[in-house]
Amino acid sequence: MAHSKRVGYAVVGLGRISQGAVLPAFRNSKKSKLVAVVSGDMKKARRLAAKFGAAASYTYDDYAQCLENPEVEAVFVATSNGTHAEYAVRAAQAGRHVLCEKPMAATVEQCLDMNRACRENKVRLMIAYRKYFEPASLALKKLLGSGKLGKVKIIHTAFTILIPPSKKAPAWHFDLEAAGGGSLVDLGVYCVNTVRWLTGQEPLQASGYAWATDPARYDRVEESISFQLKFPGALLMQGTSSFGAAQANFLKLFGEKGWAALDPAFSYNEERRLFGKIEGRWFEKRFEIVDEFALELDAFADSLRLRREPEPNGLDGLRDVVIMQAIYRAAREGKWVKIDFPSELA
């Protein structure tokens, strides 16, 4: 297959995140181009293809034809969580690389299927965690790595949005099989993955407590959940996610020599502040809004052109789902749960 300098993508799933962030990001991308879009509604697909400059549009029923398009080198999977595996596996079997929205899938088994399919078909798999490329998060990671905070003992983090009863949200968000969970898999996954990435460590145990102020609406998935993760070296992380509070998100690290906070930490359309105190001295830096999705697309394009493993890859996505499942189990059983990773992660 002959490839142009830019990597050609098909975006599969044209919901809110695709329309509001992924499709527009191709306009700011230097190494990626939008070739095709795939939706359950051909009229919608054609409209968005015309708006964002895609040459081809397909329905889900025509997905096989999309994968035969020689201009499609990679697919960006942005469908409901429970269908990520289906579209990723089919793409891998067709020899197409996969960039998949978070969470990687609704279950651990689906994550394993995705990793195996990509490995067996010798294609790359990356999970769409934008924090790995966003300047403020990179600055916090550099600060942590410098040792200026001293040994970090505690991390607090949260991500909340408000979905009021009057707001119509996609039904799959409230369906356990389709979503894999509630606010934890939609929002709390950022807290889990970012702390893993910042520290370079994997948690050993999990605890959790879930609750809802609207039990009728949240009868299958959680509205809110608070959780703790124990990491090696006596590091404790406290996280919270919720669909029942105003939008806010932060990350705060407490070390022996000082503390540092990133606020907002996870939203993509707000100016960020990195601030704190180190040995009694205040510091603060502001970061302008950047197109994190364009950075993400181009990072994956680099991994393809340079033939290197992307970061974060499918094993990172699998680890996050394993951890979240342990949090859910801990919440159900009311006790600390050991986190056991599959043998292929050993």
Tell whether 24 is covered by a domain: yes
Task: Choose the weakest-confidence range: 53-62, 153-162, 165-174, 262-271.
Answer: 165-174
Which residue is associated with the tokens 């991390």?
A: 155
Considering the domain boundaries, does residue 224 fall inside one?
A: yes
Question: CA torsion sign, 112 to 113 to 119 to 124?
Answer: negative
Burial class (CB in 10 A: 0-12, 13-18, 19+), 210: buried
pLDDT 10s digits, 296-327: 999 999 999 999 999 999 999 999 999 999 99
| Residue ranges of E strands in 131-278 | 152-162, 205-211, 224-231, 235-242, 244-255, 258-263, 272-278
For the residues 246-272, what does the mean pLDDT come to? 97
Residue 2 lies in a domain: no
56 in the same domain as 193: no
Domain count, the chain: 2
Exposed e or buried b per residue across 318-329, where buried means at least 16 C-beta atoms within 10 angstroms of its C-beta: bbbbbbbbbbbe
51 and 117 housed in the same domain: yes
In this structure, are strands 235-242 and 244-255 parallel, antiparallel, or unpaired?
Answer: unpaired
Residues 249 and 165 in one domain: yes
pTM equals 0.96
CB-based burial label for 166 (10 Å; 0-12, 13-18, 19+): exposed
Assigned domain for 61 exists? yes
Q: Are the C-beta atoms of residues 14 and 45 closer than 8 Å to each other?
A: yes
Q: Is the pLDDT of residue 289 over 50?
A: yes
The model's pLDDT over 25-66, given as tens digits with 9 standing for 90+, comes to 999 999 999 999 999 999 999 999 999 999 999 999 999 999
Structure tokens belonging to residue 28: 């700011």
pLDDT digits (tens, 9 = 90+) for 118-130: 999 999 999 999 9
Model confidence band, residue 4 (pLDDT cutoffs 50, 70, 90): low
pLDDT of residue 165: 85
Q: What is the DSSP string of 208-242?
A: EEEE-S-TTTTSSS-SEEEEEEEEGGGEEEEEEEE
For the chain, give the mean pLDDT: 96
Kindly state whether residue 1 falls inside one of the protein's structural domains: no
Q: Is 151 helix (H, G, I), strand (E, B) or coil?
A: coil
Q: Let me know if residue 196 belongs to a domain.
A: yes
- Based on the fold, state whether residues 108 and 163 are members of the same structural domain: no
Query: CA-to-CA distance for 134 and 240, rounded, in angstroms?
Result: 22
Cβ 96 vs Cβ 68: under 8 Å: no
Same domain flag for 158 and 11 = no
Q: What is the CATH number of the domain that holds 339?
A: 3.30.360.10
Counting beta carbons within 10 angstroms of the beta carbon of residue 197, is it exposed (0 to 12), middle (13 to 18) or buried (19 or more)? middle
Both 72 and 183 in one domain: the answer is no
The CATH number covering residue 19 comes to 3.40.50.720
Q: Are residues 266 and 255 in the same domain?
A: yes
Residue numbers of the domain that contains 64? 7-130+294-313
Length of the chain: 346
pLDDT in tens, 215-240: 999 999 999 999 999 999 999 999 99
- Indicate the residue type of 294: A
297 and 97 in contact (C-beta within 8 Å)? no
| 137 lies in the same domain as 121 | no
The enclosing H or E element of 202 equals: none
Q: Looking at the domain assignment, is residue 333 inside a domain?
A: yes
> Could you tell me if 122 and 138 lie in one domain?
no
- pLDDT tens string 74-91: 999 999 999 999 999 999
> Do both 126 and 185 map to the same domain?
no
pLDDT band at residue 167, thresholds of 50, 70 and 90?
confident
